[in-house]
């Protein structure tokens, strides 16, 4: 989203002292199509209403009118809002819409697509977090942060793909990731290609297309040395596919191989792997070893905290979460309990209760120090999920504000 201001003085504050300062002056012609305006004034919701902030939607098109170099001031670039925005937005949504709908689509149609996805396929929503997965896996594989090493186009596509996958629109997300590989001609041995193939496999897994998932994981396996730490994460994903296929012994073998590769090191899935092995051994009647892995899981102290969502949240688990909230004082744990409660309500069409639970988690987040790493990692995901529910209730301004905050946090995060 593009942040602008109606107040020239407010905008000028952000370039004060800059050596090569630029001011973009946006002219907005009279809009004939009242069904769609690609911008919104959020000043009444802002913490600084005097900034008169206006947000432009992602994908908004401008025409370049002039460039004025001023000897004693910033360069001024005059832009005009493009009159034919609808066609551009149709291109954006064409990755998941049938072609026959694209000729007459309006912004309300786009919103309704996402609302219908929430209403009728709630169990596919909020199940993935490929944005954080991309950052984690890149660091595991290269020892470097993403932003200083990855092409900006890939980062933009990743943002957009995550938006689709968070809505459960996995086909659209997969399409975008594949376009990254095709348009940038990335070698299969490059870190970006390895990680994108892992994420594509992950999204196919969530689409229940296990053969396609296995194919993408096989591509990664063909170029990734077994001693690489990321191979442990790959084996975890292969184990998950075997579990879905009821090949329990094969799944156990993959999980055990993952632990063998990881050794005493850390990967994001380490706690999950211990829990899966414990569950399988318990089902096989091997209670002593199951208990041993359960203890290892409980001892695991993750270096970073990520919102965790069990595969199934039933009524009994919800009651357990609510009971734990009565006694739990640790902020991270309280957030996790509120978040999982929200997921339960969401999956059972109790959207009002889901929003209330997520907002409780948001309050805890915002009361923590801004430098608190665990919260910094999770806050964008939570904001996006709250925005999704605001969208469902057609509170568009609040949805935009939350999405804007999520983007700002990711752009300004230490890993970027």
- The predicted-structure confidence for 327-356, as pLDDT tens digits, reads as follows 888 887 888 889 889 888 888 888 899 999
Confidence of residue 104 (pLDDT cuts 50, 70, 90): very low
The C-alpha atoms of residue 380 and residue 179 are separated, in whole angstroms, by: 25
Quickly state the pLDDT bin for 280 (edges 50, 70, 90): very high
Place of tokens 């004082």: 329
Query: Are 353 and 264 part of one and the same domain?
Result: no
Which residue range forms the structural domain that includes residue 29? Answer: 2-83
* pLDDT at position 136: 84
Beta bridge partners of 27: 80
Separation between Cα atoms, residue 165 and residue 292, nearest integer Å = 36
Residue 231 in contact with residue 225, Cβ under 8 Å?
Answer: yes
What is this structure's pTM? 0.64
Which residue has better confidence, 112 or 236?
236
Q: What is the pLDDT of residue 21?
A: 83
pLDDT at 36: 53
Average pLDDT of 253-267? 88
Q: Is 393 within the bounds of a domain?
A: yes
The CATH number assigned to the domain holding 66 equals 3.90.176.10
Cα(367)–Cα(363) distance, integer angstroms: 6
How many residues would you count in the chain? Answer: 416
Domain of 299, CATH number, reads: 1.25.40.10
| 371 part of a folded domain | yes
- How many structural domains comprise the chain? 3
Residue (of 252, 203, 259) closest to 232 by Cα position? 259
Q: Report CA-CA distances (Å) from 3 to 53, 150, 266, 286, 319.
A: 7, 24, 38, 58, 42
Q: pLDDT at position 266, please?
A: 76
* pLDDT, tens only, 84-94: 544 444 454 45
Query: For residue 390, what pLDDT is reported?
Result: 87
Task: Please state which of the ranges 88-92, 113-117, 313-317, 397-401 shows the lowest mean pLDDT.
Answer: 88-92
More confident residue, 372 or 301: 301
Tell me: pLDDT of 258 over 90. Answer: yes
Regarding whether 341 and 414 lie in a shared domain, the answer is: yes
pLDDT in tens, 185-242: 788 888 889 999 999 999 999 999 999 999 999 999 999 887 788 999 999 999 999 9
Q: Is residue 36 domain-resident? A: yes
């Amino acid at each position: 989203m593009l942040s602008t201001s109606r107040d020239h003085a407010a905008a000028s504050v952000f370039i004060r002292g800059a050596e090569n300062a630029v001011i973009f002056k946006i002219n907005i012609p009279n809009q004939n199509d009242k069904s769609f305006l690609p911008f919104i004034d959020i000043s009444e919701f802002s913490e600084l209403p005097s900034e008169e902030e206006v947000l432009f939607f992602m994908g908004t098109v401008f025409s370049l009118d002039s460039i004025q170099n001023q000897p004693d001031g910033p360069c001024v670039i005059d832009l005009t809002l493009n009159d034919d925005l609808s066609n551009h937005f149709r291109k954006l949504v064409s990755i998941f819409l049938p072609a026959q709908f694209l000729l007459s689509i309006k912004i309300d149609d786009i919103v309704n697509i996402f609302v219908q996805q929430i209403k009728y396929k709630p169990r596919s929503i909020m199940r993935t977090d490929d944005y954080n997965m991309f950052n984690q896996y890149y660091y595991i594989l290269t020892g470097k942060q993403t932003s200083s090493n990855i092409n900006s186009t890939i980062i933009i596509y990743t943002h957009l793909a995550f938006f689709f996958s968070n809505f459960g629109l996995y086909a659209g997300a997969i399409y975008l990731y594949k376009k990254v590989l095709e348009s940038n001609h990335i070698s299969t041995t490059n870190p970006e290609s390895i990680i994108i193939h892992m994420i594509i496999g992950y999204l196919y897994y969530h689409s229940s297309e296990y053969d396609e998932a296995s194919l993408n994981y096989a591509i990664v396996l063909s170029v990734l040395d077994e001693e690489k730490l990321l191979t442990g994460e790959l084996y975890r994903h292969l184990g998950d596919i075997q579990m879905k296929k009821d090949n329990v012994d094969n799944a156990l073998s993959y999980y055990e191989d993952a632990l063998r590769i990881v050794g005493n090191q850390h990967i994001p899935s380490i706690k999950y792997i211990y829990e899966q092995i414990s569950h399988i051994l318990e089902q096989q009647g091997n209670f002593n070893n199951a208990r041993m892995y359960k203890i290892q899981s409980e001892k695991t102290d993750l270096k970073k905290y990520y919102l965790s969502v069990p595969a199934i949240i039933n009524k009994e688990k919800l009651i357990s979460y609510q009971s734990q909230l009565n006694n739990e004082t640790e902020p991270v744990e309280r957030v996790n309990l509120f978040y999982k409660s929200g997921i339960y309500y969401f999956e059972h069409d109790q959207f009002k209760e889901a929003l209330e639970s997520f907002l409780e988690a948001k309050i805890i987040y915002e009361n923590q120090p801004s430098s608190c790493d665990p919260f910094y990692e999770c806050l964008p995901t939570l904001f996006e999920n709250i925005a999704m529910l605001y969208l469902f209730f057609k509170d568009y301004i609040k949805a935009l504000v939350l999405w804007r905050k999520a983007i700002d946090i990711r752009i300004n995060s230490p890993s970027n």
